Every structure is written in C-alpha cells, then in structure tokens.
C-alpha cells in the first residue's frame, strides 16, 4: 500500500521505509469490524432480500428485509465515522428490532424455525458485541479521563491584564513588507 | 520515514526542535479534508535549527540559524506576496491545478495540509524541508525560548489577525466563539488592541477558565443562552465584533437541532461544513458589525442566514493567516513582555507520543488545551 504513496511523492520528500505501530486501539478495531459487517449485511439485504427470506422461511417480506438493509447501511456508515458510539448504539437498537422480527417468525408452522433460532442466537451475540464496543468507545473518548486542571493563573500577560489592555494602541499601520 | 533532502535551490532543511499539534490538524485526523495519503506527515507549527541550505537561498539563511517556520509557504515575489497577502501566494502550491478547480483560484502551499495545498510534508518530524526558505521563515531572537516563539508559526498571528481584522475601537465588545488555542490568542489580541469588553464562548471548563484569566467574560453554552447573555452584556445591542474560532467541526448537541442536521448531512456528503457557530454569530452580531473568521471551513455550508447578514450590513473578514505580515510586530510584543504566548501550552511530550496526544487533544482529556512535541 505505502509503495504507491511513495511513488507519487516528490523525489526529495520523506518516504515510508517501514510502517510503525498502528494507533488504533482494540475498541477502534472492533467498531470498525462491526461497521463493515453492517455494510456487508446491509448490501446483502438490500440487493438479495430473497436469499434472506428464503433461509428464514419468511417469503413475501422482501420489502421489510430491504428496509432493514438500508438501516444496516446507515448504521454502518455512522459506525465507521467519527461518531462511532452513535453508530454502535444505533446498531444495538437495530439488533433489538431484528430479534423482535425473528421472534415473530419462530412459530411451529415455519419449516425453517431451526434457522430462525440460530439467527436469533447469532443476533443476540452480535448485540452483545455492539453494546460492549459502544461502552469501550465511550470510555476511551471520555473527556473526564486524566487529571482535571483549571488554568485560571494563565493570563499570558507577563505585566498583568491591566497593563495589557490597549497596550497595542495606537495600532500601527499594517506592515506588508517582508521581514 | 526517510529524512527529506534539498530538492530545489531555494530549499533549506531544518532539524526540528519543537513542534505543536494545531486544532486544524484534527480536521485532517478526522479525514474531513480530502486528499490525505498513507505516509503524509502532519504538522504546520514547527521551529528548529537550519542544517542545510540550498544554493538559491542567497544568504538569507545560514547553517545554525534558529527559525520558526510559518505554516503558509510564501515565495515573497508574486503579486499577492508583495501586497502582504501571504496566505494566497500564487506560486507555492505545487498542486495549483487541483486548488484552482476547487477554489476557483489557487491559494498558498501549506505544510502538512494534504495534497490540495501542495502535499508538502509537515513538521511533526525530526527534520523538515522548507521550500522557498529564503522567504518562508521567521528568525528567532536568542532572547526568546522555543515555547515563546513557536506559535509565531500559526496560532498567535492567527488569533492576532482575527482580532486585527475587526478594526477594534475603544468602545467595542468583541465576542469570541471557541476557546481553543486560537480563541485564547484572539482573546488576548483583542485585549491588547483595546477592546472595552471581550466575551468568550465555549463549554469546556478549563478553556473557559483560561479565557477568564486572559481578561474575558465567559459564557458556557452548555448551561446558558449565548444570545441572551450577549444581549445582557451589551445593553441588548449585541457585540460589535464577532470572531469565529470554531470552524466547520462545531460541537454537535441535541440542544442545537441545526448542529445535528449538519452532522447528518456532512456524514452523507450533502454538505461539508457544520456552520452552527457562524449562524449564531450572524444572528448575534450588532448591525453594522464585523464578523472575523479564522476558523477553518472546508467547502459548502448550508443555511447560512444571508438575510440577516445582508440586512444587518455585516462585514465578513476571512482568510488563512498572512503569517509574515504580522511577524515583526509580534516578535517585538513578545520581546517587550506585552504577551507571552507560551501560556497556552498544557502538555509537552516527546514526538513519539504524538498519536496519544492527538487523542487527548481531540477528546479534551487530561485538561488538554495545547500540545508541544519535542523530537
Ligand atoms: Zn493551524
Ligand atoms: Zn508569493
């Protein structure tokens, strides 16, 4: 990957010799994985809803699956953005909706009830992951982390505020000459 | 990374002794400004010692000189440079054609600020190549420490220009939105330039405390109505001069529905900027007033209240900083002891800790206001 960006660089600019450690934390990675998972699932639901309805014995509800696909795509984009936490929480809500829908399909008359049950377990597991990731991301970005200090002794004026007020008056004509 | 080498005769190489993380680096860190590539070096607040000089520098610099590198690369010769409009220098952006497509006309090359502004490697590194080094430098008097001089590269002249553009008069109230490092400098500059009253708006307690220490009256927008308080403090007339030190990544809050809508549109690339602060400024500003915008905007902003802007007869002044326009004057003010810009530094760490400090700065952890990195 970096060989390409080295190629387009000006000849005397620094080049990447080797890549260092990544600054991504495990929480970032988990969120990123879930975001891409959301996009993959969303794409499948949107473009091939029949596969989903067939596997789960819910023929005729392709429209619903498509709508869920759009929801997954939006949640995926949000999760991959700076607003990871909002994305993950929206995924948790989405997981709840998925589970409610699957529960509705879990009737004895459904010949695919076994698959539905497996899907339910899977969504449950993913919901747990989404929730954990949301918690981790929130903790990581918590502004209350670290020492709290106020800087009420930092005026920036060595001679005090009173001396600073208007000290630059009268304003000199702006100089446009090069230094 | 490998070290940079002299490429053109007007280049110089410096060994970096101090550099800083700027608020506008966060826009890149968040990938809002396009055209970043793996291996791009960030950083546009840098100073150091000259270790190599190209043959075309013509004695303006020599080995061993201690210089601050302004973040705008200037040629010193084009029509804009001659007018002192250094941040719109016509020759230093080596990706001029890209910038002309996006902005209509090119602006200056900037260090460490993506390929739209020339793709020049930044100064958060051990060594930095300075193009057009004969013009693009600020010589530092021996009497100033690195910490006192470093911010001449960006945040100090940026805050100063923001206030100077307001044409402050002795009866003026100057309101400053955003109390990050540039906001802090703008507050002090407004005080030096003789504002009767400076009002600072933010939500982070340590920034508000620092603003107050610098002579400002503070408004915490999480707990108070900004427009209400501004009216109260100005006899219901509004501040004459308003400075936007927030820019396009303004705080998103459920209490401000426009900011949530902006964030959603930004995410789906329906607009580039979140101009909440700008909307509030145009609304709050006194008719006939001046709005000064040092905060960075990237592209298109929706729902900027043109009706209020036009009918109230507001003047808008903008721009990346014409750093070298202010250099001599600001060096003198630091030497005179009128101001010491190092007050804003809250964290000084080795360069290798940069990634963690980006996080701490972004998330306002550990009461972080301004980070200096030491290679
Ligand atoms: Zn900057
Ligand atoms: Zn020029």
A17:B76 CB<8 A: no
Distance CA B366, CA A145 (A): 6
**Which class is domain B12-154+321-373?**
alpha beta
The yes or no reply on domain B155-318 and CATH 3.30.1360.10 is no
Write the CA distances from A79 to A28, A35, A73, integer angstroms. 10, 5, 10
Backbone angle region of A142, left / alpha / beta, with phi > 0 → left and psi within -120 to 50 → alpha = beta
pLDDT at B34 over 70: no
pLDDT at A62: 93
* A152 in contact with chain B, both atoms CB, cutoff 8 A: yes
pLDDT at B67: 97
A78 vs B contacts (CB less than 8 Å): 267
Find residues 70-89 of chain A whose CB sits inside 8 Å of chain B: 77-78, 81-83
- Are the C-beta atoms of B138 and B330 separated by less than 8 Å? no
The verdict on residue A45 lying in a domain is yes
A156:B1 CB<8 A: no
**pLDDT, average across residues A141-159:** 91
* A17 in contact with chain B, both atoms CB, cutoff 8 A: yes
pLDDT at A134 over 80: yes
In chain A, whose CA is at the least distance from the CA of B37? A5
Which of A31-35, A144-148, B15-19 shows the lowest per-residue confidence on average (mean pLDDT)? Answer: A144-148
- Span from the CA of B91 to the centroid of ligand 2 (angstroms): 5
Q: What would the two tokens of residue A116 be? A: 């539905």
The structural domains of chain B, with segments of one domain joined by +, span: 12-154+321-373, 155-318
The verdict on residue A95 lying in a domain is yes
pLDDT tier, B31 (very low <50, low <70, confident <90, very high otherwise): low
Query: Domain range for residue A57?
Result: 32-146
Instruction: Report which bound ligand comes closest to the CA of B42.
Output: 1
| Closest Cβ opposite residue A5 in set B38, B210, B369 | B38
Find residues 122-141 of chain A whose CB sits inside 8 Å of chain B: 140-141
Scanning the structure block, which residue is given the tokens 């009866």? B171
Distance CA B70, CA B128 (A): 12
Distance CA B42, CA B30 (A): 13
Which of A2-16, B119-133, B148-162 shows the lowest per-residue confidence on average (mean pLDDT)? Answer: A2-16
pLDDT tens digits, one per residue of A70-116: 999 999 999 998 889 999 999 999 999 999 999 999 888 888 989 99
- Span from the CA of B355 to the centroid of ligand 2 (angstroms): 33
pLDDT at A179: 45
Which of A10-14, A31-35, A157-161 shows the lowest per-residue confidence on average (mean pLDDT)? Answer: A10-14
Q: How far is B311 from chain A, CA to nearest CA, in Å?
A: 30
B67 vs A contacts (CB less than 8 Å): none
The verdict on residue A155 lying in a domain is no
Give how many domains chain A has, as a whole number: 1
The verdict on residue A46 lying in a domain is yes
> For testing the chain B interface, which of A23, A74, A81, A154 should be mutated: the one with the most B CBs within 10 Å?
A154
The verdict on residue A5 lying in a domain is no
Distance CA B370, CA B347 (A): 6
Which of B27-36, B43-52, B305-314, B363-372 shows the lowest per-residue confidence on average (mean pLDDT)? Answer: B27-36
- Span from the CA of B156 to the centroid of ligand 1 (angstroms): 10
- Span from the CA of B5 to the centroid of ligand 2 (angstroms): 23
Q: Which of B352, B331, B308 is nearest to B149 (CA)?
A: B331
Q: What would the two tokens of residue B370 be? A: 């301004």
pLDDT at B2 over 80: yes
The verdict on residue A41 lying in a domain is yes
Q: How far is B227 from chain A, CA to nearest CA, in Å?
A: 25
Which of A55-59, A121-125, B136-140 shows the lowest per-residue confidence on average (mean pLDDT)? Answer: A55-59
- Span from the CA of B321 to the centroid of ligand 2 (angstroms): 14
B355 vs A contacts (CB less than 8 Å): 23
Quote the pTM value: 0.91
- Pairs across A and B, CB distance < 8 A: 180
pLDDT at B82: 97
pLDDT at B33: 61
B233's CB contacts (< 8 A; 6+ apart) are B173, B197, B199, B217
- Span from the CA of B106 to the centroid of ligand 2 (angstroms): 11
Residue spans of alpha helices (H) in chain B: 23-29, 79-82, 96-103, 146-149, 155-164, 181-192, 205-213, 226-233, 257-267, 276-284, 306-311, 323-335, 354-362
ipTM, two decimals, is 0.92
The verdict on residue A25 lying in a domain is no
Mean pLDDT across chain A: 88
pLDDT at B37 over 80: no
């Amino acid at each position: 990957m970096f060989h390409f960006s080295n190629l387009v660089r000006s000849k005397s600019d620094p080049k990447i010799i080797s890549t260092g450690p990544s600054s991504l934390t495990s929480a970032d990675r988990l969120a990123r994985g879930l975001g891409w998972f959301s996009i993959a699932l969303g794409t499948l639901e949107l473009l091939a809803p029949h596969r989903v309805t067939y596997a789960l014995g819910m023929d005729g509800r392709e429209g619903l699956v498509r709508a869920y696909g759009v929801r997954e795509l939006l949640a995926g984009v949000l999760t991959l953005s700076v607003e990871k936490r909002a994305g993950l929480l929206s995924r948790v809500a989405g997981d709840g909706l998925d589970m409610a829908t699957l529960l509705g399909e879990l009737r004895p008359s459904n010949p695919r009830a076994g698959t539905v049950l497996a899907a339910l377990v899977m969504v449950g597991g993913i919901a747990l992951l989404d929730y954990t990731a949301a918690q981790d991301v929130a903790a990581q970005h918590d502004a209350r982390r670290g020492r709290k200090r106020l800087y009420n002794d930092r005026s920036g004026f060595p001679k005090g505020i009173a001396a600073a007020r208007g000290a630059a008056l009268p304003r000199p004509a702006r100089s446009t000459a090069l230094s | 990374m490998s070290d940079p080498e002299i490429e053109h005769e007007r280049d110089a190489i410096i060994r970096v002794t101090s550099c800083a993380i700027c608020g506008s680096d966060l826009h890149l860190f968040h990938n809002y400004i396009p055209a970043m590539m793996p291996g791009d070096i960030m950083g546009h607040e840098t100073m150091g010692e000259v270790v190599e000089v190209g043959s075309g520098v013509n004695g303006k610099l020599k080995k061993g000189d201690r210089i601050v590198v302004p973040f705008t690369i200037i040629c010193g010769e084009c029509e804009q440079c001659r007018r002192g409009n250094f941040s719109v220098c016509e020759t230093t952006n080596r990706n001029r054609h890209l910038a002309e497509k996006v902005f209509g006309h090119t602006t200056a090359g900037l260090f460490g600020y993506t390929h739209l502004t020339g793709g020049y490697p930044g100064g958060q590194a051990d060594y930095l190549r300075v193009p057009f080094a004969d013009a693009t430098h600020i010589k530092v008097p021996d009497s100033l420490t690195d910490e006192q001089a470093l911010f001449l590269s960006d945040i100090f002249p940026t805050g100063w220009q923001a206030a100077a553009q307001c044409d402050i008069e002795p009866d003026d109230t100057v309101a400053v939105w955003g109390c990050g490092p540039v906001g802090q400098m703008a507050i002090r500059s407004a005080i030096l330039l003789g504002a009767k009253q400076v009002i600072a708006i933010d939500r982070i307690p340590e920034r508000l405390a620092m603003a107050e220490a610098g002579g400002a009256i503070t408004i915490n927008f999480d707990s108070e109505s900004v427009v209400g308080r501004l009216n109260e403090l100005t006899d219901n007339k509004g501040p004459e001069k308003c400075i936007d030190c927030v820019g396009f990544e303004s705080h998103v809050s459920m209490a401000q529905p426009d900011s949530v809508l902006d964030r959603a549109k930004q995410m789906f690339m329906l607009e580039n900027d979140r101009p909440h602060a700008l909307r509030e400024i145009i609304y709050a500003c006194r008719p006939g007033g001046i709005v000064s915008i040092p905060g960075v905007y990237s592209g298109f902003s929706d729902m900027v209240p043109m009706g209020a802007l036009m009918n109230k007869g507001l003047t808008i002044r903008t721009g990346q900083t014409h750093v070298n326009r202010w250099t001599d004057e600001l060096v003198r003010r630091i030497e005179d002891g009128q101001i010491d810009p190092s007050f804003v530094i809250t964290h000084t760490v080795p360069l290798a800790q940069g990634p963690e400090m980006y996080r701490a700065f972004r998330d306002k952890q550990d009461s972080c206001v301004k980070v200096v990195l030491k290679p």
